[in-house]
Structure 1
Amino acid sequence: MNEYFKKIIYFAKPYKSYAYLNIFFNILYALFSALSFVALIPMLTVLFHTGEKITEKPVYQGITSAKDYLEQYMSYFITIYSDEHGAQNTLMVMAALIISLFLLKNLFNYWAMYFITFLRNGVLKDIRNAMFKKSLELPLSFFSEKRKGDIISRITSDVLEIQHSFLSILEVLVREPLTIVFTIVAMFMISTELTIFVFIFVPISGIIISKVGKSLKKSSQKASEEQGYFLSIIEESLSGLKVIKSFNSEKAFNDKFQDSTMSFYDLNNKILNRQNLSSPLSEFLGIVTIAVLLVYGGHLVLGEGTLTSASFIAYIGMAYNILTPAKAMSKASYSLKRGNAAAERVLQVLEEENPIVSKENAIAKTDFEKEIAVENISFKYEDEYVLKDFNLTVPKGKTVALVGQSGSGKSTIANLLTRFWDINEGVIKIDNQDIRDVKLDDLRGLIGLVTQDSILFNDTIKNNLKLGNQDATDEQIINALKIANAYEFVKDLPNGIDTNIGDAGNKLSGGQKQRLSIARAVLKNPPIMILDEATSALDTESEKLVQVALDNMMKNRTSIVIAHRLSTIQKADLIVVMQKGVIVEQGTHEELIQLNGTYSKLVTLQSLE
C-alpha cells in the first residue's frame, strides 16, 4: 500500500465505525449488483420461451453440481409457475423481483455513501486542525524559510485534494473490487470459456490506461507549489498595499501574479486533461471488449449452441456492469497520483521536527525570584554568529537596556530569552535554572513581550487584551488600559472595549495600537517584561504617551528594554552597549556619558538629529 496513504489513513481511526458500516453496505451493494443481472435470465427465458422445461423438482447433489442444480431449479420454477398462472403473470413476478433487487442495490449504495461521508469530512477536519496546530507550534525559523502563502495552500487546497483523491479511494476500495469479483463469479457460472476469453483483453486495457498517468504526480506537485507561490503574492501584496501604491508598483505585482496564475493554468490543464482521458479511454476499451464478446458469444449461442440467448444477454449486461467499477478504479489510480503530491506536501509540515519543545522531564516554574543570567552564549541564524560569548545578568526588579546599531544582536536576545530560537553555545538561566529545562509554557508565562510592530487581531479590544489572560474581568481590562494610557481613547469608541479594531488594528493610529499592546502585556501581568524597540515607530507625541504607559508598566517589574531612541532608557539601572554581537560598554546613563565612548557618541548623534 502507498506510504503516504498509510500515513493519511491514520487520521481515519476515530471514524472506523463509519468505515465498517461503509464496508458492510458495500459488500451488500456488490452482491446485489451481480444478483440483479443474474435475475434477468429467468425473465428473458420466459420472454423468449427458451430453455428446457422441467416438471420434476431437481435434487441437490452437493457443491460440485450447484450450478446445474440452480439452473434446473430455475427452469422447474418457471415451468410450474407458467403452467399455473400463465407466462404474462410469470413475467410480472420476474419484473417485480428485478425491481426489488435493483432497489435494494441502490439503497445499499446510498447507505455506504452516507457513512463514508462522515469519515471523509472528519478526516478533512482533523488533518486541517492538525496542520494549523502544527503551524502554531513550529519555531519561527521554519517560517523564515517557507512562504506563508505556501503554508496556507497546504492547509486549504492540499488537504482538500487529499479528501478528493485519497479518501475517494476508500469508496472504491471495497465496493468496486467486490462488484467485479461477484460479477465475475456469476459470469463463470454462466459460461467458463466466454469469461476466460474476456480476461485475455482486460490486462491489455489495464496496461494502456496505466501508461497514461505516469507523470501525473510530478505535475500535481508543481501545480501545488505554484499555487502556494501566488497565494504568497496575494498575502504580501495585501499586507504591503501602501508601499505598492506609493511606488506605483501595481503593474509589477500584477504581472508577477499573472505569470504565476498562467503557469498554474497550464499545469492544471495538463493534469485535468490527462485525468479526463482515463474515463473515455477505459470506456472505449471496455466497449471494444464487449464487441469482441458479442462476436465470440454469438458463436457460442448460434454456432455451438452451448449457451442460451437469455443467459448470453444477461452475460453481456454483467460484462458491461464490470465497466463502471473498472472506470472508477482507473480514476482512483489517477486520483492516487494527485493525492500523493498533496499528501507529501501536507506530511512535510506534519512531520517537521520542532526542536524547540519542552523536555520530557521539564521543570514547572510559575514564579521569578532572583535573576536572569546569560552566560557565555553564542548564536547564529545561519552561518555567521550574531552573538559571541555574550554575558549579562538582570537582577529581579531592575531595568536593563540594550542599545546599539542595527544588527548588533539586541533583538536576538529577546528571541533567545523567550525561546523563539535556541542558543548554539552557552546557557541562559532564570533563578539558576537553564531555561531549556523549564516547561516552555511556564517560561513564556513569566515573560511579557511588547514589540515594535504592535500585532493586533481583527477582533474586539477586549478579546485582543485577553490573549494572555482569558479569565480577565472587564474591570481588570479597563485597569490595564488605564495603566497603558489607553483608556482615554478607548472609552470614546462607539462600543468601548467591545469595539472591533479591524484587520491588524487598522482602525487605530500607530500610538493607539502600541498602547493596546502594552495594555495586553499589563493584563498578562508577568514578572519579566521585554520591550523590543516599543516606541521606535511612533511620532514624538505618541512616543510620549506610550513612554508614560511603559514607565507605569515597568514599576516593580524586571524589564529588558531594547531601545533605538536613547532618550527612553536614561533611567535604566544598567545600559548595555552592543556592537556586532559583543558588549563594548555597560553602566548607567551618567557613567557611560563620562566614559565618552560609543554610547556618548550615539547620544550626541541623536541629539543633533
Structure 2
Amino acid sequence: MSNKKEQLFDIGLFKRLFQFIKPYNLVFSGVFGSVILIAILGVSTPYLLQQAIDTNLTNRVSEGFLFFILLMVGLLFAEFVFQLLFIYYSGWLGQSVVKDIRVKLFNHLLRFKMKYYDNSSVGVLITRSVTDMERIADIFGQGLFMIFRDFLTMIVVSIVMVIMSWKLSLIVFAMLPVVLYATKVFQKYMKTAFEEVRNEVSNLNSFVQERITGMKILQLFAREDVENENFKTINGRHKKGWLKTIWYNSIFFPIPDFCASAVTGLVVWYGGLASVVDGTATQGVLFAFVMFIPKLFRPLRQIADKFNALQMGMVAANRVFKVIDTTSQIDDTGKHIAKNFKGDINFENVFFNYVEDEAVLKGISFNVKAGETVAIVGATGAGKSTIINLLNRFYEIKSGVISIDNFDIKEVTLHSLRSQIAVVLQDVFLFADTILNNITLNNPEITEAQVEQAARDIGVHDFISSLPNGYHYNVKERGVMLSSGQRQLISFLRAYVTNPSILVLDEATSSVDSYSEQLIQNATDKITKGRTSIVIAHRLATIKKADKIIVMDAGNIMEQGTHEELLQIKNGYYKNLYEVQFLKEEVA
C-alpha cells in the first residue's frame, strides 16, 4: 500500500479545501478567536473554585467569597456566548464552503462529454453532489474546529494542572498514553470503515435511483420479487458497513470514560491522603482536579468522535475532487462566434467510435446545402443518431472534418454552435416544471407571448390551452402528466422558439396516436421550412418531402439521392428498404 493510502490525514487535500475558505477569512478568524477564548474560559471556573475554597471556605472567611461566585457566573455566561457564536459560525462557514464547492462541481458536470455520462452512474453522481457535500460541511461544523477547540482546551488544562500540583498531574498524565494509543488505533480502523460506508452509500443510491426511474419496466416484466432480493443484498452490505463503524465506536468510547473514572479515584485517594498527611495538596486543588479531569479526558473522547466526522468529510472531499479533476470536457478552443449560420453542412471522411476499435462511422462524407431538408434512413445501429451527436460536438470525432459554412466546427465556440442548432430527439426529456419553462428552458429572452405565437404557428396552441393552467401546467417529473405525442409536440415547440439556423429531428411518431401524429407532421413541415434540416426519418411522408436522402448501413453511406433517384437503382439498398418497409405504409 502506498504512503498516501496509509495516511490518516491527507494534508494536500486539506490545503485544497482551505482554498475555498479564503472568501470567508473574517469569519474564519472570528471562529479561530472564539476557540482560544473558550479554551481559556474553560479552565477559569475550576481555578476560581480552588481559590474560593482555599481562601474562603477552608479559612472560614466570607469576605471576597461573593466576588468569586459572581466572577464564576460571569465567566460561565461569557463561555456560553462564545460557545454559541463558535457553533453557529463554524457551521455557517462549513455550509458556505460547501455551497461554493457544489457550484464548482455542478458547473463542471454541465460541461462533461456525453461519453462520461455513458460510463457513469447517475446515483453515484447524485451522491457526490448531495450527500458527500454534507459530509464536507461537517469538516468545519463538526470536525476541524471542534478538534482544535478540544485540543487547545487539553493543553491549557494540562498547564494549569501542572502549575497547581505536578504530583497529582503525573497521576493524571500516566493514563493518557493508554487513551492516545486507543485513539490512534481507532482512527486507523475508522478511516477504512468510512471508505467502505461511502462506497455502499453510493451503491445504494445508484440502485434505488435506477430502479425507481425504471419502475415501469420492472413491473411490466414482473421483476418486483427479484429486485427486492437484490435490494436486500445491497442494503445488507450497507448495514454491514455501518455496523462496522458502530462496533469500533462501542469498543473505543468506553475506554476514555473508564480511564477518567480510574484517574479521578486515584487523584481523590492520593490527593486526600496528601492533604491530610503532609499538606502538599489543598482541598481547593483537589476539587479543581476533580473538575479538570473530565475537561482533559472528555476532549480526548470528543476528538476521536469528531475525527470520525473529519474522516468522513475528507473521504467525501476526495471523491468530490476526483470528479472535479476529471478532464472529460469537449475542448472549447474555437474562436469563431456563430451568430447566424447559413446552414451549409459538410461531413468529410469522418471516422468515429464510442469504444476503441469498434468503428461506428467509417469514413462517411456528405454535404447539405443551406435550406435543404436531408433525410437519413437505415437500420438500427447504422449510425444515424451518431451524426446528430457529432454535429453538436457531444463527442469528438476520431478523424475527418465536420464543417458548417466552411468553418470546422472545432473552430466555433461551443455555446454559439449549439445555440444555432436545435435538436428534437426521439426520447423527449421534460423537467418537473411548467410547459412554458420546459419550452424556454428559463431563457429570459424568450417571452410567453413569443411562445404562444410560436405554438399557434405550428398548430399546438389549442392542445396546450386545453390543459389546466395552459402554458403554466406542471408536467411533473420527466413529463409523466403528458402522453408521448404531447411531449413530442412540446419538444418541437422548444426547438422552434429558438429560431435555429439548423434543425435536427429524430422523428418519432411510431408510438403516438393518429391525431398527435398529424400535429407532429404539420409541426415538422412548419419548422423545417426555409432552414437547413437533418431528419432521421421513420415515415415515408417525411422521406418523400426531403431534398436528399442519405441511406446508411453499419456506419457507411450506401446511397444518396432523391426518393425517385434512389428507386431507380437496381437492387439498391433504399429500393429494398422501400419495398420491405415503406411500401406497406404507402399502401395502407
TM-score normalized with structure 2 length:
0.92
Q: 2: distance between equivalents of 1:366 and 1:275?
A: 62
2:46 alignment counterpart? 37
1:126-162 deviations in Å (ceiling 9; x for gaps): 3333333332222221121121112112222222222
Query: Residues 535 and 268 from structure 1, CA distance in 2 versus in 1: closer, same or farther, beyond 3 angstroms?
Result: same
1:85-128 deviations in Å (ceiling 9; x for gaps): x8234322222222222222222211222221221221233333
In structure 2, stretches of 5+ residues that fail to align are 1-8
Q: 2: distance between equivalents of 1:354 and 1:305?
A: 74
2:256–2:298 contact (8 Å) kept in structure 1: no
1:350-369 counterparts in 2 under 5 A? 350-359=324-333, 362-369=335-342
1:501-516 counterparts in 2 under 5 A? 501-516=475-490
Q: 2: distance between equivalents of 1:218 and 1:566?
A: 61
1:450 alignment counterpart? 424
Query: Residues 540 and 446 from structure 1, CA distance in 2 versus in 1: closer, same or farther, beyond 3 angstroms?
Result: same
Q: 2: distance between equivalents of 1:411 and 1:470?
A: 30
1:109 alignment counterpart? 83
1:14-37 deviations in Å (ceiling 9; x for gaps): 222211111112211111111221
1:407–1:580 contact (8 Å) kept in structure 2: yes
Q: 2: distance between equivalents of 1:215 and 1:608?
A: 69
Residue 357 of structure 1, CA deviation: 3.9
Q: 1: distance between equivalents of 2:251 and 2:56?
A: 40
Q: 2: distance between equivalents of 1:272 and 1:128?
A: 29
Letter of the 1:465 partner, please give it. I
1:536-572 deviations in Å (ceiling 9; x for gaps): 4434443232111111000110111112334422121
Q: 1: distance between equivalents of 2:250 and 2:393?
A: 50
**SS of corresponding position for 1:313:** helix
1:577–1:586 contact (8 Å) kept in structure 2: yes
2:524 alignment counterpart? 550
**SS of corresponding position for 2:20:** helix
Letter of the 1:366 partner, please give it. K
Deviates further, 189-198 or 475-484: 189-198
Q: 2: distance between equivalents of 1:212 and 1:146?
A: 34
**SS of corresponding position for 1:422:** coil
1:372 aligned onto 2:345:
yes
Q: 1: distance between equivalents of 2:411 and 2:263?
A: 70
Residue 583 of structure 1, CA deviation: 0.9
Letter of the 1:371 partner, please give it. D
**SS of corresponding position for 1:402:** strand
Aligned equivalent of 1:601, options 539, 560, 576: 576
Aligned equivalent of 1:203, options 158, 177, 183: 177
Q: 1: distance between equivalents of 2:578 and 2:192?
A: 59
Residue 197 of structure 1, CA deviation: 4.6
1:576–1:587 contact (8 Å) kept in structure 2: yes
1:204-247 deviations in Å (ceiling 9; x for gaps): 31112221342323332333232333333333333333322222
2:343–2:502 contact (8 Å) kept in structure 1: no
1:328 alignment counterpart? 302
Q: 1: distance between equivalents of 2:284 and 2:465?
A: 87
1:219–1:267 contact (8 Å) kept in structure 2: yes
Letter of the 1:171 partner, please give it. F
1:372-409 deviations in Å (ceiling 9; x for gaps): 22222211111201111121212211112211111111
Letter of the 2:33 partner, please give it. F
1:286-333 deviations in Å (ceiling 9; x for gaps): 333333444444454345533323223213322321122222212122
1:27–1:174 contact (8 Å) kept in structure 2: no
1:170 aligned onto 2:172:
no
Residue 506 of structure 1, CA deviation: 1.9
**SS of corresponding position for 2:375:** strand
Could you say what the CA RMSD is over the residues aligned between the two structures, in angstroms? Answer: 2.2
Residue identity over aligned pairs, in percent, reads 33
1:165-564 counterparts in 2 under 5 A? 165=139, 167-298=141-272, 300-359=274-333, 362-369=335-342, 371-383=344-356, 384-467=358-441, 469-564=443-538
2:508–2:538 contact (8 Å) kept in structure 1: no
Q: 1: distance between equivalents of 2:554 and 2:235?
A: 43
Query: Residues 536 and 422 from structure 1, CA distance in 2 versus in 1: closer, same or farther, beyond 3 angstroms?
Result: farther
Q: 1: distance between equivalents of 2:383 and 2:191?
A: 44
Residue 44 of structure 1, CA deviation: 1.0
Q: 2: distance between equivalents of 1:254 and 1:474?
A: 46
Aligned equivalent of 2:37, options 11, 15, 28: 28
In structure 1, stretches of 5+ residues that fail to align are 51-85
Q: 2: distance between equivalents of 1:362 and 1:534?
A: 36
Letter of the 2:342 partner, please give it. E
**SS of corresponding position for 1:367:** coil
Rg comparison, structure with higher value? 1
Query: Residues 207 and 362 from structure 1, CA distance in 2 versus in 1: closer, same or farther, beyond 3 angstroms?
Result: farther
1:17 aligned onto 2:63:
no
